[in-house]
Structure formats: C-alpha cells, structure tokens
Structure 1
C-alpha cells in the first residue's frame, strides 16, 4: 500500500512540475510558474527514493506504468479531455506491466 501511495504522489508531483513548464512555454503563463514546477519535480525525485526496491532502475520502470495512468487521469481531470478506450486500454496494459515488474518473484 505504501508503494502505491508513493508512486501516486510521485506521479502527481512529476506531472504538475512538467505541466508548469508546459504552461510557461506553450500556454504563455508567467515564468513564475517555474518555481513551483521545479519544487514539484524535486519532490518527485525525493518520493521515488522512498520506494522499497533494491534497484533504482526497477523502481523507476515500475513507476512508468503508474505515471502513464496518472497522465491519462490528468488529461481528463485537469485538461478536460475525456480519455477514449485506447487511452484506457493502453493505461491498463502499462499498469499490468508495472505490477509484473514490481511484484514478480525474485531470486536475488
């Protein structure tokens, strides 16, 4: 449960941080958007260190699936675009892949 919460928080922090840059460069928002954006990206990096994994690469790979699903939720909730069936199917496949990486049996 803790890993899911950490991944969820990391996804929100990463997407929000990246969106701040998007807003500045693509939507004409003030450069002041970069300050909370950078803080959010720093929080994202810190949160991923809280994942209980022997290898950073494995923790990041599993996080990728969670990020994709969170980005689809962001698309819907923040940008107001309803995901289509392909978005949902792709997100489900990515989340299943993340679960295989994270919870697969390991010998070492």
Structure 2
C-alpha cells in the first residue's frame, strides 16, 4: 500500500469519526434531534470499517497513528464547522501529532 493511499484512508476515516461525533454533538447539545444522532452513529460505524482497510495488520498501530490525524482533523473541523480559531500552540500540537503519526505508521521496519 502506498503512503498516499494510506493517508487518504486516514483522512476518510477522520471525516467519518469527527463528522459522526459532531453530528451526535449537534443532536444532543444543540437539540437537533435523533436524526442527527442516528446519522452520527452510522458515520462512527463507517469510521471503524474504513480503519480496517489500512494495509498494516496491527490494530494498535493503526489506531495510534490515526490519533495524530484525529487531533489535526478535529482542529480543522472546528475551524470549518464552528468558526474555531486555533492559536499557535494548537497548531504546533497538531503538527507534533502528525509527525508522531508519520513515525508510527511509515517508519521503515523489518517485517
């Protein structure tokens, strides 16, 4: 699997997980109702499916690496969906997480 395909899968997974959590948040916290909550639950389930499409067979590695994508993606989602403006520490932290994701997922290993 190429790094590019792996990154695309991480991004798609992030859209489902972050989007699903946001839909549940909107359904409960913003009183938008059960349709939003149900759509969020479905999206969260699809996140789990997409995560299985990564080439690596190690569940822990995939989820740990995905954590970096989740952190950066959550900040980006907040900017787009809710008008959140990250400060420099948010940005630095997200970049550190993305660097950690790259090391965990793409470091050369002898198999």
Give the TM-score normalised by the residue count of structure 1. Answer: 0.95
Q: 2:19 aligns with which of 6, 16, 23?
A: 16
On the 8 A contact 2:28/2:37 being kept in 1, the answer is no
Structure-2 separation of matches of 1:99 and 1:69: 13
Structure-1 separation of matches of 2:71 and 2:46: 18
Q: Does 1:50 align with 2:53?
A: yes
Structure-2 separation of matches of 1:74 and 1:86: 17
User: Where does residue 90 of structure 2 map in the other structure?
Assistant: 87
Deviations 1:18-54 (A, max 9, x none): 1111112211111111221111111100100011102
User: Where does residue 66 of structure 2 map in the other structure?
Assistant: 63
Deviations 1:50-103 (A, max 9, x none): 111021110111110011110010111111111111110000000000000011
Query: Which ranges in structure 2 are unaligned for 5 or more consecutive residues?
Result: none
Q: How does 1:34-49 map to 2 (within 5 A)?
A: 34-49=37-52
Give the TM-score normalised by the residue count of structure 2. Answer: 0.92
Q: Return structure 1 stretches of 4+ with deviation > 6 angstroms.
A: none
Corresponding pairs, count: 108
Aligned residue for 2:82, secondary structure, equals: coil
CA apart distance, 1:105: 2.2
CA RMSD, Structure 1 to Structure 2 (Å): 1.0
Aligned residue for 2:12, secondary structure, equals: helix
